[in-house]
A and B are shown apart, each in its own frame.
Chain A
Amino acid sequence: MVGASIYGYRLPAEELLASMDANGIGRSVIAPVQPRSYHLEPENEAVAATQSRYPERFAGLCRVDPRQGEDAVAELQRCVQRLDLKGLMLHPWEEGYTISDAPAVRLVREAGSLGVPIFVAAGYPWVAHATQVRAVAERARETTIVMTHGGQINISGLAQADAFLAMEACENLYIGTNGVYRQDFLEECVAGFGPERVLFASMAPVFDQGFELDRARSIGMDDRDRPLVLGGNALRILQGGAEGRT
């Protein structure tokens, strides 16, 4: 996530590029932060400008707040159709809404109509638990939805079953690897759902990009499939949206 967040973290695009170079990462999907101003539109424009400046290195997502209703839908349309952003980032925890509420579902469906994927900051209790993301995925089958954090943020492992069941129930759900508790959960997802549904993700700067790459590289899996996790899946999803599903 690039920019200066109201939550205290910040990552300028150039610093991210330096991190990518240091870690041998060719491309990153980037999304706006929640800025101190509370206004996401300028952040979307900044991400679009960064994407234009480094088209070989960045694919940009927009970020909207579903509570803004039709204005949020219009902003999503503007970002995809006019700013050429490649998908939508929803962060229910930081914005303060529930992913399974009607306004968010409306946006998820709209993204599907536009042919772009959703990245949900998932696993947060109360607002973006895997069961809640699953409820959305079931109502928006045409939309490709990536759950960050493996769909579960719980350092006892007690949310893993819900994330696993959500993946099992909804073929339009994928997981990102950032910060996932227990490597064997990632391995079970690769084995259970195929390597096509697991994406390396860092969520830098909240998580350390280099260490998160270590995490993705450490997944016990067939090395021939690893390129999918390390980039192939992300490219396919961003290029094809729901149609790019395998």
Chain B
Amino acid sequence: MRVIDSHAHVDEYEAFGWFDPPEVLIGLLDEAGIEQAVVMTYADAPVLKPDALRYLHDACKKYPTRLIPYARINPHAANAAALLEEAIVDLGMKGLKIHQESVTAAAHHDSVVRLVKKAAEFDAPALFHSGDEPLSLPWQFAGLAERVPQATIILAHMGGYHHTEDAISLCERYENLLLDTSACPYPREIKRAIERLGAHRVLFGSDGPGCNPRLELRKISRLGLSEGERRLVLHDNIASLLERVRHEAPRGPR
């Protein structure tokens, strides 16, 4: 079965102590039998890493059939929207990543809402960190989901260690929210999410290379999913999101 990892990283960022050039991830994807991965940097452009988007673009150019870039951007930056547009239109990136702890902004912050609206103009998905930290709690996404109903918003990690029920409940309320399985430590909670939301709302992700893609894939294999559910979670859901992304600048008033 074809597999796309919807959440992985390529970056070399000394401040975090994580050095993961594309070769590291490619080796792990090969080991796991994963065809492609959506990748983003650890550091946010342009504040923590001014050349983050260029770095990512160059990394993905080395493996054009394997790596699919999302632009990780600090929404507080004055040129955040322009950067995202450049990333999607000029660099061919396929989505937006925001890590709220890294950029010190909850998902309902006006700057985040503005940037997610910009992503939605391109039908590009917006991937967010979610977990147990003060700016990453699932219910904080309610305001964003309501204010940008046209956006596709993905909650990585399914709410972390102690907020999986919140993440699932939130997704039951807002249909424009999806979950990714990366680093979620509870196979049973992933199964529960699929039972309550449907397999079309859950995406396989590894958060590799730090989290081992083969181990993350093994977690999915433990769920006892049907063939159709597995295909959706491991490939078709993310593939259809990526296909929808438009790389032309939107026309008309903005």
Contact = CB atoms under 8 A, between A and B. Distances in A.
Interface of A: 125, 153-158, 161, 179, 181-185, 207-208, 210-211, 214-215, 218
Contact of B211 (A125, A158, A181): A181
- Which of A154, A156, A158, A179 has the largest count of B CB atoms less than 10 A from its CB? A156
A218 B133 contact: no
B242 to A, nearest CB: 24
Contacts of A181: 183, 185, 211
A182 B101 CA distance: 17
A208 B187 contact: yes
Interface residues of B, number: 29
Q: Is the interface of A mostly helix, strand, loop or mixed?
A: loop
Interface stretch (B57-65, B119-127, B213-221): B213-221
B174 interface: no
A181 B99 CA distance: 16
Contact of B214 (A153, A158, A218): A218
Contact of A218 (B17, B185, B215): B215
Nearest to B133: A156
Given A181-B183, A183-B212, A208-B188, A154 B132 contact: yes
Nearest to A156: B101
Interface of B: 16-18, 99, 101-102, 129, 131-133, 136, 157, 160-161, 183, 185-188, 207, 209-212, 214-215, 218-219, 222
Contacts of A153: 132, 161
A185 B188 CA distance: 24
A211 B101 CA distance: 28
A158 B215 CA distance: 21
10 contacts: A154-B132, A161-B17, A182-B207, A207-B186, A208-B186, A211-B187, A211-B222, A214-B215, A214-B219, A215-B215
